[in-house]
Amino acid sequence: MLDPSDQDLVQRARTGQPEAFGDLVRRYQASVFNVCYRLLGERSAAEDLAQEAFIRAHARLAQYDPARPFGPWMRRVAANLCLNHLAAQRPSLPLDDERDQSATELLSQDPAAVREAAETAEAVRAAILALPPHYRAVIELRHFQELSYADIAAALSLPVSDVKSQLFRARKLLAEHLTRNA
Amino acid sequence: MPPHLTDEALNEYLDAALPPDERADAAAHLKHCLPCTTRLDALRALFTDLAALPDLPLTRDLAPAVLKALPAQAPAPTRARRPAGPWLLGAQLIVAVVIGVLAWPLLATSLATITIPTDLAAITTGWLTRLPAFTPAAWLADAQSWLFSLLPNVALNFDFGTTLTPLLIGAAVAGAAALWLVGNALLLRRSLTTLIRRRA
């Protein structure tokens, strides 16, 4: 039997069936958690905000357009939540030790082949987290949520020209950070 | 050779955000300009690194905690309300039948005194013959005279003593109206709640 579609689960959740929303949580919790982790850099905070993002999404299910895919909408809710969280606490969080665990897990599979990829991933995560929060936001929305300039502008309430300048500047900083720590 | 591409142009080139003509110009320039190609490759490497960033695994299932937190904010479940629909409709139907049975003597008495087909035929014929000279005032006069011709028949043939008392009739009508209002309010409660939430 085929798994129910996201739209089916949303419809059931809207009519008061929490177990349907539980299925949606299990379906998207990993990607939502990773949005939060990329923006926050700390596992515990990322898990808490991912959880909060699902609770908020459930409360806003009436605003969700079933004609659009659920995953990107859900990740957008999480990103907005994290951005608000970052705006509320100015200092950037330090990169959490989980990066080491991720690299260790990869290394345990095939050390020689994945060592470079793991180190690169760790360096990229560190470079992203070294960015100011508003630069981190445009990188997240453009590269991981694949929004257009116009959609990023709408999500962040910025002019498109500001989105472009922040995005290009963020990329420059990322490249410089990666070169410096290579 | 035209001037080198700006950083903005290179970024927009990789984002596929340049207009078609500018993209074609940029592509033509990149074919012959090593410095710009080198800058583009460096930027493309960053894109590749970002795209290759692996997801971290979740170490716990978030669903139980999310579901535990839901009831306070969950939309009011419809499961508990569903049985109310058929029950309410059934009750409304039963009451409607009872009211109909009680009201039948009154209706039968009144209807027996009205020769509607004959009256209608006569009025229709009269209207048709007067159609060329039709005016709203004439139509109203005809309608008024027809209604007045019915009222005496109803009033004269209605015997409150042998059918229903006015109090009972009033109570039946008021009861039916109240049941209709309450029943529809209950049936439409979910739609109204959703509408109010959306406006809020």
* B32-67 per-position pLDDT tens digit: 999 999 999 999 999 999 999 999 999 899 999 999
List of long-range contacts for A172-180, beta carbons under 8 Å, 24+ apart: A172/B7, A173/A127, A173/A130, A173/A131, A173/A135, A174/A124, A174/A127, A174/A128, A174/A131, A174/A139, A174/B46, A174/B50, A175/B42, A175/B43, A175/B46, A177/A126, A177/A127, A177/A130, A178/A123, A178/A124, A178/A127, A178/B46, A178/B49
Q: How far apart are the C-alpha atoms of A157 and A84, rounded to whole Å?
A: 13
Q: To probe the interface with A, which of B62, B68, B192, B193 has the most A CB atoms within 10 Å?
A: B62
Residue A3 neighbours by CB under 8 Å, 6+ apart: none
What is the structure's pLDDT at B182?
Answer: 80
The interface pTM score, or ipTM, of the predicted complex is: 0.81
A168 and A109 assigned to the same domain: no
Query: Which residues constitute the domain of residue A156?
Result: 131-182
A126 within domain boundaries: no
B46 touches chain A (CB under 8 A): yes
CATH (domain of A149): 1.10.10.10
Site of tokens 């080491």: A100
A81 and A107 assigned to the same domain: no
CA distance B32 to chain A (A): 24
A62 touches chain B (CB under 8 A): yes
Q: Which of B12, B63, B70 minimises the CB distance to A26?
A: B63
What is the structure's pLDDT at B32?
Answer: 93
- Scored b (16 or more CB within 10 A) or e, A5-18 reads ebeebbebbbebbb
What is the structure's pLDDT at B71?
Answer: 63
A37 and A85 assigned to the same domain: yes
What is the structure's pLDDT at A100?
Answer: 43
The answer on pLDDT for B80 being more than 50 is: no
As given in the structure block, the two tokens for residue A146 are 């694949």
The answer on pLDDT for B68 being more than 80 is: yes
A15 and A84 assigned to the same domain: yes
**A64 contacts A73 by C-beta, under 8 angstroms:** yes
- Residue among A128, A28, A33 nearest A73 (CA): A28
B98 within domain boundaries: yes
pLDDT tens for each residue of B97-120:
887 777 777 777 766 766 555 556
Query: Which residues constitute the domain of residue B170?
Result: 85-199
What is the structure's pLDDT at B118?
Answer: 58
A59 and A148 assigned to the same domain: no
Asked whether the beta carbons of residue A144 and residue B50 sit closer than 8 angstroms, the reply is yes
Task: List the helix and strand counts (H, then E) for chain B.
Answer: 9, 0
B38 within domain boundaries: yes
Q: How many CB pairs under 8 A join A and B?
A: 116
Helix or strand or coil: residue B18?
Answer: coil
**Ranges of chain A whose pLDDT falls below 50:** 92-95, 97, 99-100, 103
Asked whether the beta carbons of residue B77 and residue A19 sit closer than 8 angstroms, the reply is no
Q: What percent of chain B has pLDDT over 70?
A: 60
Rounded mean pLDDT, B69-89:
59
CA distance A89 to chain B (A): 24
Q: How many CA atoms lie within 13 A of B189 on its CB side?
A: 15
B94 and B23 assigned to the same domain: no
As given in the structure block, the two tokens for residue B57 are 């695994």
B74 touches chain A (CB under 8 A): yes
Q: How many distinct structural domains can be found in chain A?
A: 3
Rounded mean pLDDT, B7-19:
95
Q: How far apart are the C-alpha atoms of B70 and A56, rounded to whole Å?
A: 9
pLDDT tens for each residue of B117-168:
555 666 666 666 666 666 667 767 777 777 667 665 555 555 555 555 666 7
A5 and A88 assigned to the same domain: yes
B80 within domain boundaries: no
A169 and A90 assigned to the same domain: no
B97 and B192 assigned to the same domain: yes
Q: Which of B15, B54, B67 minimises the CB distance to A22?
A: B67
Rounded mean pLDDT, B173-195:
73
A5 and A84 assigned to the same domain: yes
CA distance B198 to chain A (A): 7
Asked whether the beta carbons of residue B75 and residue A26 sit closer than 8 angstroms, the reply is no
A18 and A71 assigned to the same domain: yes
B57 within domain boundaries: no
pTM over 0.80: no
Site of tokens 């020689």: A112
Q: To probe the interface with B, which of A23, A27, A33 has the most B CB atoms within 10 Å?
A: A33
B110 and B160 assigned to the same domain: yes
